[in-house]
Amino acid sequence: MYLTMDNCISAARHLLPELNIEYTRQFLEDSILSHPEHPSLLCISDTLEEYKINNLAVKIDSDKLEEAPLPCIVQLSDSGGMFHVLKHFSSGVAVFLDEKGKSITLSTQDFSKRWTGICLLAETTEESKEPGIEKKLYQKRISNIFKWTIGIFLLLWIGLSISSFSLVDNSGSIFFGGYLLLKLIGLSAGFMLLWYEVDKYNPTLQSICSGGKKINCDSVLNSKYAKLFNGQLSLGLIGFAYFFGTLFYLLFMGFSDVSLVPMAYLSFLTLPAIIISLYYQGLILKQWCKFCIIVQAVLLIEIVLAYFGNFHHGQISYNALPLLVVLIMLPIPIWKWLKPLLEGKKEKNLYKRGLKKIKNNPDVLLGLLAKTRKIEKSTEGLGIAFENKTARYNIVKVCNPYCGPCANAHPVLEELVKKGKINLQILFTARANKNDIRSKTVAHFLAIEAQGDRQRTQQALDDWYLADDKDYEAFSNKYPMNGELEKQEEKIKRMSAWCEAEKITHTPTIFVNGHELPKEYNVEDLKDVLE
């Protein structure tokens, strides 16, 4: 099930707001579910690293927990080793969030008995945020504005239509208002049923469709009685089509008396469906679906309002009936077209996460590296080298200072260097030619590196590769040289000879531990797999 299997997601999802970090569900789930060690505390830790949140997994005694920075993630043994967010621990009281984000208060003594001693400490910095969150939030705001605009215009349309409709007495107006409200509630419930068909493990839907041993939406909606015409029509689609068609029929007909007559008879015709549904859920399946109960309650109250509101008294306008039939039938082909697209997108995300989980496994990368071509000629003394004592991987990057993909690869590899994950050696494909702008730029890089200031060399490469415009004059003015450029000619010749010997045909060409990076991987993948 979603809520138990993806406890790592729920723990991270509850922790980020406590740390005042905005996030998107898609990025968070992709980061955790694609981790090769999911489910584990490590996948949560590495996901927090994606948000640039400093974190540390420790095992400590409860008497030291008061000194730990909160909130943090703790593991409780009595919940099957699940992770929870601890918000408060002092003065004999411990407060943590359960799977659904509800605050649970225990005495520190009771909490200590349930706690395994494992916790993940987290601390934010000024740089802590989700990558690209500004753009994502902007797109979300635009989407919300679009949705609210549609909703407001729909409500205005309903309001104007109601204002043009008059009934004989106030009691009639009450019946009609209630009937219209029921249509809106029923349409919402129908939408939730359709949503359930393509995303039944969604936390929002799961939180609604839970509440006891007898509540099981999945059992009801996937039963034989919920599928008609060999599964071509579902109860959710039928319910949504009914409420959609009848509501918009009332709107198009201006809520006239003529439009209420067929609505009343349609409401009466739903009575057998209500009885059959209650019979199957209560006596055959012995399970209940909350969404189905809502729809049945709405249909039953519709019948009562239609009868006591005398909606069925009057003449039926047969000329308008085709419109009613079209409106009721319209959602069916649209949903038949839309549902595979939504399921395909979801399936694509699952495959994407599965593939990423495989690619993020270092053992898989090492296995593929063994089958790729190996560097034949030594790179010792060539180019620019950054070494770390803790590094497990040696990366050789062959690049061109004016290559766009090389510029994109630079910040990824630079970050791995700064974290001590890799040793990085940068080689250039330029030829020794004083009139070649590439040769001048490479000579400038090598001259800066020759001064022995690693930090200045890294900053110079950042200034060059992260700039939108590769302006050598501006770069040379920022890093002035006095005759050092001429001393780099021999170094450039050696690099050029190495590139020819190794048959370098494109940039960037990446080598990991002496083997060329497999074509299934790109530089961005290294950020995940090597960490």
pLDDT in tens, 58-74: 988 888 888 888 999 99
Which of 176, 178, 209 lies closest to 192, judged by CA? 209
Report the CATH fold assignment for 373-530: Glutaredoxin (3.40.30)
Q: Chain-wide mean pLDDT for the chain? A: 84
Per-residue pLDDT at 2: 37
Residue 257 CB: number of other CB atoms within 10 A? 18
Is the pLDDT assigned to residue 166 strictly greater than 70?
no
Q: What is the pLDDT of residue 385?
A: 92
Q: Choose the weakest-confidence range: 92-96, 125-129, 360-364, 470-474.
A: 360-364
CB 129 within 8 A of CB 28: no
Q: Span 164-179, mean pLDDT?
A: 59
In this prediction, residue 163 carries a pLDDT of 58
Q: What is the pTM of this model?
A: 0.59
For the residues 503-527, what does the mean pLDDT come to?
A: 89
pLDDT at 167: 44
Look at the domain 7-124 and name its fold: Cathepsin B; Chain A (3.90.70)
pLDDT at residue 4, as a whole number: 40
Has residue 180 got a pLDDT over 90? Answer: no
The predicted pLDDT at position 159 comes to 65
Contacts 24+ apart (CB under 8 A), 430-434: 430/400, 430/401, 430/492, 430/495, 430/496, 431/492, 431/496, 432/489, 432/490, 432/492, 432/493, 432/496
Collect all residues with Cβ–Cβ distance below 8 Å to 416 and sequence separation of at least 6: 395, 422, 424, 526, 527, 530, 531
Domain ranges for the chain, please list them: 7-124, 165-344, 373-530
Residues whose CB is less than 8 angstroms from the CB of residue 181 and which lie 6 or more positions away in sequence, other chains included: none
- Going through 129-216 in order, the beta strands assigned E by DSSP cover none
Residues in contact with 461: Cβ distance below 8 Å, sequence separation at least 6, in sequence order: 384, 410, 414, 426, 445
Residue 252 has pLDDT above 90, yes or no: no
Q: Over the stretch 125-152, which tens digit does the pLDDT of each residue have?
A: 999 999 888 888 888 888 778 778 877 8
Could you report the per-residue pLDDT of 181-202, keeping only the tens digit for each? 888 888 888 888 888 888 777 7
Cβ atoms of 13 and 71 within 8 Å: the answer is no
In this model, does residue 461 exceed pLDDT 90?
Answer: yes
Asked if 275 and 253 touch (Cβ cutoff 8 Å), the reply is: no
Nearest to 291 by CA among 199, 187, 212, 203: 187
> Which CATH topology does 165-344 take?
de novo design (two linked rop proteins) (1.20.1440)
Q: What are phi and psi of 389, to 5 degrees?
A: -65, -30
Residue 285 is classified by DSSP as: I
Average pLDDT (412-436) is 86
Instruction: Say what percent of the chain tops pLDDT 90.
Output: 28
Q: Is the pLDDT of residue 336 over 50?
A: yes
b (16+ CB within 10 A) / e for 207-235? ebbeeeeebbbebbbebeebeeeeeebbb
Cα distances from 62 to residues 112, 190, 452, in angstroms, run 6, 49, 49
Write down how long the chain is: 531
- How far is it, in rounded angstroms, from Cα 236 to Cα 89? 46
User: Which of residues 167 and 76 earns the better pLDDT score?
Assistant: 76
Dist CA 266 CA 264 (whole Å)? 5
